[in-house]
Amino acid sequence: MIDFDQVVDALRAAGEPTRLRLLMLLGHAELTVSELVYIVKQSQPRISRHLKLLADAGLIERNREGAWVFYRAQESGPIAQLKDTVTSMALARTPATDRDLERLEDVRSQRRQQAQSYFAANAAEWNRLRSLHTDDADVEAAMLALLKGRTFKEHLDIGTGTGRVLELLAPFCERGLGIDMSGEMLGVARARLSEAGLRRTQVRLADLFSLPVADETCDLVTVHQVLHYLDDPARALSEAARALAPGGLLLIADFAPHMIESLRTDHQHRRLGFDAAEVEGWLMACGLTLSAQRDLPAGRPDGLTVSLWLASTPERALRRRPIKVVT
């Protein structure tokens, strides 16, 4: 419940021309201070002061990634509803807002170019790795089939990489959050999601062993081709289970056991695939129930089989609470 003083603070923060322009821009995209300086053509200290007022009023969110800080409009809660009302009343085009949108497209174009450069530098190796396993389109089709057209309020994608899983499942999710430890990959994901116009999908730099979400808040969690990089996959699944709401689903995609040792020596794979019983045991230890498991063999004798696991939480929160490991 929002109180009277919060409403007044939010209206006061939004009730200034530059701050209203910033609020409208941050409803279109997640942006840094330097990007906003370029778009609005005001000094960095002034933009920073405006952003602080908007953040203090709860109208925008602030998320740090190393030396960079990303801002975006608040997406949920009563303040978000007030923000939507205020910005919808200010949709009349002006020369200033027209220029803002033109420069926002410049920022998006620059992000696309950076993402394309990163892909180009790594494309040969990625293509070689993809050739070893089941076609991506077949894996994605199998993932969608397991979810059976269900809709979700909160989707968390752990180790989001390029953001492809967020994009794939966006039509079925009200909001999506992808987390990754690679700033370069998050840059690719932001460009991809922006290009697709997915405003209610965002990405964050975060540790998958300490997810930036509250207990039991996500009704869908995906872990796509992540576990084989980890020293402790069971611990990662325990943390994923902590985030799952009652009745929520956990969808895992990873490799079945294989003997391609070069993936460990050359590509930092810590585990050479996972036995189905091993993963089921981890899920049971987290209080989850395995509801489906599928293997998708590669189209070549020496290829990698991709395995899918779908697990669920009880409708009521009677499951064993995952243990939070402190290091």
Q: Domain limits of the chain?
A: 4-105, 131-312
Q: Average pLDDT of 66-71? A: 80
Chain-wide mean pLDDT for the chain? 86
Q: Which long-range contacts (CB under 8 A, 24 or more apart) does 290-293 make?
A: 292/146
Per-residue confidence at 66, pLDDT binned at 50, 70, 90?
low
The domain 4-105: what is its CATH number?
1.10.10.10
Q: Average pLDDT of 69-73? A: 87
177: left (phi > 0), else alpha (psi -120 to 50), else beta?
Answer: beta
Superfamily of structural domain 131-312: Vaccinia Virus protein VP39 (3.40.50.150)
d(Cα 5, Cα 8) in Å, to the nearest integer? 5
Backbone angles phi, psi at 32, to 5 degrees: -90, 170
Name the one residue in this structure whose structure tokens are 């079925």.
172
Q: Average pLDDT of 233-256? A: 95
Paired tokens of 54: 């908007």
